[in-house]
Amino acid sequence: MKRIEALLIGGLFAAGSACAQETFKLGVVSFLSGSAAESFGVPAVNGAKAVIEAFNKGQAPAPYNKVGFGGVRIEPVYVDENGGATKQVQELRNLYDRDKVDAVVGYVGSGDCLAVAPVAEEMKKFLILYDCGTPRIFEDGKYSYVFRTASHAVMDNVALARYLKARSIKAGSINYINQDYAWGHDSRNDFKAAAAQLFPGSKAQTDLLPKFGAGQYGTEISALLAQPADLTHTSLWGGDLQAFVLQAGPRDLFKRTQVVISAGDHVLPGLGDKMPDGVILGARGAYGLMSPKSALNDWWWKLYEDANKVYPVQAPYRMVQSLLGLKLAVEKAMVANGGKKPSPEQLAAALKGSEWESPAGRIRMNLADGHQATQDTAIGRTKYDAAKKMVTLVDIQRFPADCVNPPPGVKGEDWIKGGFAGAKCP
């Protein structure tokens, strides 16, 4: 009798332990070291930590208020994106094969995204690209298991050009400084094409492509000053953008040209009064100081600010919108799977073509056969507030998704060169 009781108790204990131990293992990849870590990668991971903790405690607002993912606790595995594309491919394989993660959310660098997406597809494993900008991922490739839950860079540069046009800002001559890899090339080409449409007759002058992580821009700043233009366009980001601003400011570059930055909000907290007034910039979405007023955004802002003592900018906003979309997709797939954790195929089917509310507004997976998101965005102008001891953004203009993103089935470059056919702008 005692043996039977022991077996029964042991069996119940083992079963209970198995239930208690079941988790949804989630790989989270972003820059934790290197020049992109301070202003981008680490804030993104800090956002992931805050929202995953809230999910696991069931403390997110409805419809995100179920504990974990559908009652299953989320177990994050954090990986550093620093080190190059070859390293990231191996790290991704390790996450799936060694760490046995159920899904991966990650990647900032466009080169890394282009490298890992085909690997996840080959392995038939679920992957969300939470950031990266290059349109080529889904415009040049077709995937079943790979998704991007944020708009690509076409939106950023079309919105910049539309902002300039709406405010009659002079753009007869334009200089360019962008990084020499996919993100920099794509951003430069998209802005050039948009400027050609909205400012016919504008002239491209100095066109610089420093390498990613260059850090020193004395030669480039001299070249920009030698032939000053009405506008200077840049898609520099992270440590590169911080370095450029700190080096160009004392040389009065910002006084001699209107600098426009496609993705610049994330460096504002760190630069403080070193960021010149009047710089026009975007955040790759309606993020941070340009985010819309909503109950969900109020919850997210407080959650992040309480945990990190600074307001959330672009990277954590992009991270949280990916995790909110993933949560709803997992829970939808679990219902269809009898309450059990879904397979990659079931998860992909649940996320494909879906929509959800994020702190930045509505996210719609409506491009690339339901694998690529579009969203609203905003552009503003910097102004330092001495009383608050922070950079603020003024003259903010919002752009609906259908105004600044290409329609389904049309490549961004072709859409711009075709005159933005089908764009729905206020």
| Domain assignment present for 322 | yes
- Residue count of the chain, please give it: 426
Q: pLDDT at residue 18 above 80?
A: no
Clarify whether residues 318 and 255 are in a common domain: no
Residues 41 and 176 in one domain: no
The per-residue pLDDT for range 302-346, each reduced to its tens digit, is: 999 999 999 999 999 999 999 999 999 999 999 999 999 999 999
Shared domain for 187 and 327, answered yes or no, is: no
Q: What is the pLDDT of residues 239-251, one digit of tens each?
A: 999 999 999 999 9
Q: Would 423 be classed as within a structural domain?
A: no
Name the one residue in this structure whose structure tokens are 């349109």: 135
Per-residue pLDDT averaged across 17-24, rounded? Answer: 64
Inter-residue contact 141 to 64 (CB < 8 Å): no
Distance CA 408, CA 193 (A): 19
Confidence at residue 5, expressed as pLDDT on a 0 to 100 scale = 33
Q: Percentage of the chain surpassing pLDDT 70?
A: 95
**Whole-angstrom distance, CA of residue 279 vs CA of residue 382:** 5
- Tens of pLDDT, residue by residue over 127-179, are 999 999 999 999 999 999 999 999 999 999 999 999 999 999 999 999 999 99
pLDDT at 373: 98
Average pLDDT over residues 260-270: 96
Confidence (pLDDT) at 21: 63
Do 29 and 76 meet the contact criterion of CB atoms below 8 Å apart?
no
- Torsions phi, psi for 270 (to 5 deg): -75, -35
pLDDT at 365: 98
Q: Which of 426 and 151 is assigned the larger pLDDT? A: 151
User: For residue 137, how far is the Cα from the chain centroid?
Assistant: 14
pLDDT digits (tens, 9 = 90+) for 360-375: 999 999 999 999 999 9
Together in a domain, 142 and 30: yes
pLDDT of residue 11: 37
**Per-residue pLDDT at 7 exceeds 60:** no
CA dist list (Å): 319 to 61, 97, 239, 287, 383: 17, 24, 19, 11, 27
* Domain presence at residue 1: no
Check which CATH number belongs to the domain holding 69 and give it. Answer: 3.40.50.2300
Q: Which domain holds residue 271?
A: 154-288+376-417
Quick one: 120 and 163 in the same domain?
no
Q: What is the pLDDT of residues 209-233, one digit of tens each?
A: 999 999 999 999 999 999 999 999 9
- Name the residue among 378, 375, 376 with its Cα closest to residue 396: 378
**Same domain flag for 369 and 380:** no
Whole-angstrom distance, CA of residue 71 vs CA of residue 372: 28
- pLDDT at position 279 over 90: yes
**Are 368 and 255 part of one and the same domain?**
no
What is Dmax (Cα atoms) for the chain? 93
Q: What is the pLDDT of residue 12?
A: 34
5 within domain boundaries: no
361 and 380 in a single domain? The answer is no
Mean of pLDDT over the chain: 94
d(CA 285, CA 360): 7
pLDDT at site 243: 97
CA 171, distance to chain mean position in Å, is: 28
Task: Work out how many domains the chain is built from and give that number.
Answer: 2
**Nearest partner of 382 among 395, 369, 373, judged by Cα:** 395
In terms of domains, do 138 and 268 share one? no
Q: Is residue 426 part of a domain?
A: no
Average pLDDT over every residue of 400-410:
97
